[in-house]
Amino acid sequence: MRLKHRIGVTLFLLACVVCADAEHAAITIAHQGSENVWVSLKGDTANFLLASKDGGRTWKSISTVAGFHALYFLSPKIGWSLYLVQKDDNHCFVLSNTSDSGYSWHKSFSNCGGKGGYSIADVLFINQERGFLLSDDADDGLLLQTKDGGHSFRIVPELTGKGQLSSILWDGAQHLLVLGRDFIGVSDDQGRTWKRVEATEGVLLGRTQFFLTRGQLFPSGHGYLVDGNEIYESTDFGLHWLSTFVAEDVHFFSDISFADDENGCASGFSETNSIYCKINGHNWMRISGPPVEDDGSKILGTMKMTKHLLMTIDNDSQLYQSRDLGQTWTKAPLGTPAPLRRAPPDSRSKKR
């Protein structure tokens, strides 16, 4: 069945629970490997995309674009973006792709809907043809699949309209995992077939209710995710999860990111400004987050960890980075906007 829903999009990241009137607000981060990093910024007069090819040491403004709310890069050159467009009274989303590291973008798919429509919360591609869009609508979650690089989508019926979804994880090989409220969706064949697994089937040991939001999977079968102030681990590609750490000084974790299956960090909201990290597979340890403001608290949203760099966006939409596991934090030197490099029309879209 082809997509028949009218989809209106409003994307909210925990990074923007409270957005300050900063000159440029960081919206989201993406990385591919340990050296290639991108950040989408939104400003009062211009939005632009920054890129780093040296693991965040230096940044270059590569294009002025609509403020991307989601970025995903499959390789240092190939990536996709989601952003919002207002048309009359309709809220629309646009999926675009790049083949030159983000310098230019080609629109591949768009959809508009009226007020109260679906919200697209996540984008993932496992190769240049096959990818997924996920809606986190509270009552009627939606998973869409493309087999032509994002030019058309079909609904995944096993996971659509049957409860709230939050994000989609991929182990980098065959296994995919969709996180949701009181259930998960699993695939062991790159999304060709799906199975819904209920909370009552022992997904989280000792839990019959949950709302899983963020996590990460690896080809080894190992996985991590956060729920409230707990961190869960899996060794069977996400079919079963066991709570391995509870952070008493954290109200909730909002994101978790691993450089590999033994080194990662989780961030969230804590009066003690805490981030918790697992290094070389050892027990979780507390490190200090970016400096707090006068009220003594900070909400950390999107978190990304590479081999040499830890990055997070706070509730004031500031991007911070650390190279020494939180001993020192600096605001990323985000530069100034650059003229948009316009790409030739997408020849494929002409044929459609």
Assess contact for 299 and 14: CB atoms under 8 A: yes
The single-letter code of the amino acid at 191 is G
Interstrand relation of 120-125 and 68-73 (parallel, antiparallel or unpaired):
unpaired
| pLDDT number for residue 244 | 93
Q: What percentage of the chain exceeds 90 in pLDDT?
A: 36
Parts of the chain with a pLDDT under 50: 1-22, 115-117, 336-352
Whether 85 is in a domain gets the answer: yes
| pLDDT number for residue 23 | 53
| pLDDT number for residue 261 | 87
| pLDDT number for residue 83 | 80
Whether 349 is in a domain gets the answer: no
Assess contact for 97 and 109: CB atoms under 8 A: no
Q: Tell me how many domains the chain contains.
A: 1
Q: Rounded to 10 degrees, what is the CA torsion of 213, 107, 54, 285?
A: 0
Whether 5 is in a domain gets the answer: no
Whether 105 is in a domain gets the answer: yes
| pLDDT number for residue 225 | 93
Give me the chain's average pLDDT, please: 80
Whether 347 is in a domain gets the answer: no
Q: What is the Cα–Cα distance from 11 to 347, expressed in whole angstroms?
A: 29
| pLDDT number for residue 303 | 78
Q: Which of 132, 109, 38 is nearest to 77 (CA)?
A: 38
| pLDDT number for residue 235 | 95
**Domain holding 177: CATH number?**
2.130.10.10
Whether 352 is in a domain gets the answer: no
Hey, is 221 helix, strand or coil? coil
Q: In whole angstroms, how far apart are CA 244 and each of 8, 136, 204?
A: 38, 27, 11
Assess contact for 330 and 324: CB atoms under 8 A: no
In the block, residue with structure tokens 């403020």: 67
| pLDDT number for residue 40 | 84
Give the domain range for residue 285: 14-338
Q: What is the Cα–Cα distance from 31 to 346, expressed in whole angstroms?
A: 25
Hey, is 347 helix, strand or coil? helix
Whether 344 is in a domain gets the answer: no
Whether 248 is in a domain gets the answer: yes
Assess contact for 178 and 165: CB atoms under 8 A: yes
Tokens of 207: 């839990």
